[in-house]
Amino acid sequence: MDMGLQDFLIRPRGGWADVRERDVLHIGLVNNMADAALESTERQFFRWVARAAPELPIRWHLFSLHTMPRGELGNLHLVREYYGKPRDIYRTRLHALIVTGTEPLQADLRQEPYWSELTELFDWIEQEGPPALFSCLAAHAAVLHFDGIERQPLASKRFGMFDHVPVAQHPLTASLTGPTPIAHSRWNDISAEALEDAGYEVLTYAPDAGVDMFVKRKRNELLFQQGHPEYDGATLGREYRRDVRRYLEGSKDIYPDMPANYFTGAQAERLERFCKRAMRERHESLMSAFPAIEPPRIGRRSAIAEPLGIWLRQIQQQRNEHNGTAIRRRPLAGLQAP
C-alpha cells in the first residue's frame, strides 16, 4: 500500500506472472459523485480503463474531496474503501489522475462548497501533477478555472446516447473510423467556439449533443470529456428512474424527458403510459408501478475506449523513458489541510 491507501489491481492481458512493479501504472481516481453513485462510478471507470488498455497492469488509488457534501453512508463507503483526501494525492506517486464530475447544486460553480478545494487540485495538476482526465462537470470546472470559460445553461437536459465523430487529426482519434456512441447527462454546455477561442482542440463532436472530447497542452496534455464514455448500459436508465422519482416526490416540477436514442420502441411506449399516469396521479407511491427497464446493449464498446487507451499508452511510454519511476511531486505552498 502507498500512504495507507488500498490498492486496486487490474489484471493485465496475459496475467501477472511477468509483471514487475516498475511496469505497473498508478492511476488516481478523484471520485466526486454523490453517495449513491460512489461504488458504481468506481466500477465504471475500472472497467473503462481495463477495456481501453487490457495489456497494462493498473494500480488504482481512490480519493475524495474533503469539502464534498457527504452523508453517513457515503462517509462509511470512503472509510471502507480506504479513500484518501486531496492531501494524500500530493504525496502519492501517480502516473495519471482522473477527476470525475458530480451533480451541481449551484448555477455558478464557484459557489459550490468544494470549489476552493477543487481549484487547488487543478492548480497542482497544472503546475506539479501528472497527466489528467476531467470528466463532465470536472471538465466544466477546469476550463472555468484555467481559462474563464463559462458553461451555458441548456433549454432542456442533454440526456441520452449520441453519435460523435472525430473533427480533428490527433493521435487520440487516429483509430476512430466512424460514429461512436457516447452517453451525455447534463444541463449545461461548453461550445466548440468557446473552447477553440481559448486554445483548446476539439476532438469529437455530435450535431445534436455538441463537443465530447477535447484537449489542451499545458505542462502535460490534459484530456477533457463533456460526455460519459465510462457509463455502462444501465446508467442512463437508472438516472431516468431517479429523475422520475424526484418528480413524484415533488422535488422537481417537470416530468423528465426520456434519454434519447436509448429505449426500444416497446419500452418507450410503456414509459410514456407511465408518464401520463404519473402526471394525473402524482405521488411517490406510484414508483412501485414504474416499468422495468432493460438496459440496451451499447455498440462499439472498443471504439469508445480507444482514445483513452492511446492516452494511457502515451503515459506509459513517457514513464518508460523515465525508467519506470513516477515523480513524487511536491504539494503547492498554502494548500489547505484536510
**Closest C-alpha among 293, 298, 160, 176 to residue 238:** 293
Please pick, among 136, 140, 145, 239, the residue that the annotation labels catalytic: 136
Residue 82 contacts residue 34 (beta carbons within 8 Å): no
Phi-psi region of 305 (alpha: psi -120 to 50; beta: other; left: phi over 0): alpha
Q: Determine whether 120 is an active site residue.
A: no
Q: Determine whether 230 is an active site residue.
A: yes
Please pick, among 42, 117, 120, 230, the residue that the annotation labels catalytic: 230
| Active site (catalytic) residues | 136, 228, 230
